[in-house]
Amino acid sequence: MTDAELAARLRTNLLGFKRLQASGTPAWNLNLPGLWASVRPAVPRVLYLQQVFFWDTGALAASLHTLEAFFEGHGIPAWRVQVPSGEPEAEHVLRQAGYRHEDAFQAMGLAFAQGPAAAPPSLPVEPVRTLEELIPFSAGIFGSDAGLQPWHLHPPAALHALVLRGEGRVLACGLSLDEGDTAGIYLVATAPEARRQGLASEVMRGLLTAARGRGLAAAVLQSTPLGHGVYQRLGFRTVGRWTNWVRRQAPPLPATGQE
């Protein structure tokens, strides 16, 4: 499986996961030819929940004013567009429209048939039927419910969540979303007091072992620099460097006290 094929699978899976995060209220979604956008008005300053995904650069260029009205109409002060590797035309369009490149992440993929299977977890990880207890856990890690709230009691069958507990508390967790024959890995996190013990790796091993068991062909994810080495050791390879282009509204001018 080529890097381009794995990157395309990540793009498809990521869009599916983000649509799931925004599924609670139709007004949170904007569907246009060639792109999709979503908002979470309850947390207007959580940037990763205010975003745009596109698969046609021409459509992106034609929709910039509509996007601005959509986000402004929900009171969102900043939003981002993710641009996969090798799309300089999209970056040019966004730069000209006032967007700025603020950060990037590594797109990573693992084709199960192309390498040895990761060892199963050595600690007990367990599936959970609902995501209810992960909402406060995610809030402590990510500063919000990570978009879990709309569907946490009845997650779709394609979503698989694993947790690792200690003394009855969740110490680490992770999610996997099946899209076709590919598992997308999301929200892998460890409680601050339990870090540097390899717990996130244990959760990852559980997610990968389960995905192989379901007969899937690949796993894909987004990685920050902090997690890159962990995922490499599990067999993932980098298949691109995706950038986040952010549009920030200018803050209102302070009142002068004069009419």
pLDDT at position 259? 34
Q: How far apart are the C-alpha atoms of 140 and 255, rounded to whole Å?
A: 36
- The residues of the chain scoring below 70 in pLDDT are 143-153, 250-259
Set out the domains of the chain in order of their start, with CATH numbers.
3-106+242-248 (no CATH), 111-240 (3.40.630.30)
Cβ burial of 117 (10 Å; 0-12, 13-18, 19+) is: exposed
- Which pLDDT does position 258 carry in this prediction? 41
Residue 255 confidence (pLDDT): 45
Q: What is the pTM of this model?
A: 0.88
* Cα–Cα distance measured from residue 171 to residue 202, given in angstroms and rounded to the nearest whole number: 11
**Both structure tokens of 99:** 């967007």
Q: Give residue 153's pLDDT.
A: 65
